[in-house]
Structure 1
Amino acid sequence: MEALFNSLAFFVPVGEPEKEIIATLFTEKQFKKGEPFLLEGKVCRQVGFISKGLMRYFLTRDGEEKTFYFAREYEFVSNYESFVPQIPSLKSIEALEDTTAYVISYDNLNRLYATMANGERMGRLIMEQVFVQALQNLNSFYSDTPEQRYEKLLQTHPDLQQRIPQYYIASCVGVKPQSLSRIRKRLSLR
């Protein structure tokens, strides 16, 4: 849980009183490879902090899965557009590896905001970070070439190539696996 404390301390001071509150409201949960964190059509009722493992966000359209984000160690995982208003999710999140996460329910997160010094400020700062990341991903999809998106993915997540199948990376970049192979070949010739 120390990694969670350190991550939250990036946003607000986390002393012993705050650690006690956090420790009582978050619970450790194990997700087996392939196990869902959230299923499309269900309301997202938790936020997780990944201490070990990897998860992917994806949509299913016309029977095809479209991967659009990966969350890994020391990152928060949730579908905030479902979690905040408590409405059904349009996307799914699943573990790509056996994953350990500290999760907090919607009700417990509201308790954390109410009882922890700077709790609401922390929540706002985390949500701002999530919002900016979502906008950057959206802007990249419309302004960058697939090759540029692939390079950015490798810069931010250099270990992903060894951890997940290439077809998930291709989907996240917005190309077919064959096109990703050509991109990788061009980049290797540089």
Structure 2
Amino acid sequence: MRAKKIEILKNEGIDSIYRLACRHVEISGAEWEQCRGMFASAFFSRKQMLVNRGEVCGKIFFVASGLLRIYFTDEKGEEKTFHFCMENTFATDYESFLKGVPSSFSIQAVEDSVVLLVSREMLESLYSLLGEGQKLGRLIAEDYFFILNEKIKSIYVNSPMERYKAMNMRFPNLLQRVPQYHIASYLNISPVHLSRLKLAERENSPNG
């Protein structure tokens, strides 16, 4: 990807972060002008690793363009997809990032991706520059908790079809962007079961 295109996506990503932050707290134009110059960007090609399990996750990644996958490897050596991060969403191992401990997860680019990078030091600076920075940090942490809670609840409470429908609501067009075995892993089902769910949905649709 050309440098000019990356720079455009970087600036668009910074604007997206500003809009997302403003949903939680009030941020003046003057405050944000002090913050926007702190953001750096990076390009990751398809299948490239952003974080490997066992490394300290020293960054929060904001997806300006592309798609990331957060996963872990079980005792059998099989990869289990925990979450997908599409455009205008964040990706990190929050515990590793905050505590400086080895990450339990790996983060990989599923597509060519441009991300904005937020270090721990930069995050602290953002909190101090913004009048409601501490409140913003607390609300971001709450959002991360809700993602974890929703994932755990879906596995133990929801049926595979309910998980499948919720995934399609949360991640539009994911089926066209991600290999089916990653999606099956995310839903905690086999690829064969995923094929059956897709067929059942088509048969039950008004145009099926």
Return the TM-score normalized by structure 1: 0.95
The AA in structure 1 aligned to 2:52 is L
The alpha-carbon deviation at position 79 of structure 1 amounts to 0.8
Matched residues, percent identical?
A: 33
Q: Equivalent residues in 2 for 1:16-165 (5 A)?
A: 16-61=29-74, 62-165=76-179
Q: 1:5: which partner in 2?
A: 18
Q: For the residues of structure 1 that align with 2:37 and 2:132, how far apart are their CA atoms?
A: 17
Q: 2:28: which partner in 1?
A: 15
The AA in structure 1 aligned to 2:53 is E
The alpha-carbon deviation at position 186 of structure 1 amounts to 1.5
Q: For the residues of structure 2 that align with 1:45 and 1:128, how far apart are their CA atoms?
A: 20
The AA in structure 1 aligned to 2:156 is Y
The alpha-carbon deviation at position 24 of structure 1 amounts to 2.7
Residue by residue, what CA displacement relative to the aligned partner does 1:14-48 show, whole Å, maximum 9, x if unpaired?
22222223213221111111111211000111112
Unmatched 5+ stretches in structure 1: none
Q: For the residues of structure 2 that align with 1:68 and 1:7, how far apart are their CA atoms?
A: 23
The alpha-carbon deviation at position 177 of structure 1 amounts to 0.6
Q: 2:194: which partner in 1?
A: 180
Unmatched 5+ stretches in structure 2: 1-13
Q: For the residues of structure 2 that align with 1:36 and 1:120, how far apart are their CA atoms?
A: 31
Q: Mean alpha-carbon deviation: is it higher for 12-21 or for 65-74?
A: 12-21
Residue by residue, what CA displacement relative to the aligned partner does 1:123-153 show, whole Å, maximum 9, x if unpaired?
1111111111210111111101112111110
Return the TM-score normalized by structure 2: 0.87
Kept after mapping to 2: 8 A contact 1:38/1:92: yes
Q: How many residues align?
A: 190
Q: Mean alpha-carbon deviation: is it higher for 98-107 or for 19-28?
A: 19-28
Kept after mapping to 2: 8 A contact 1:21/1:116: no
Residue by residue, what CA displacement relative to the aligned partner does 1:35-92 show, whole Å, maximum 9, x if unpaired?
1121100011111211111000101122211011100111111110211111100110
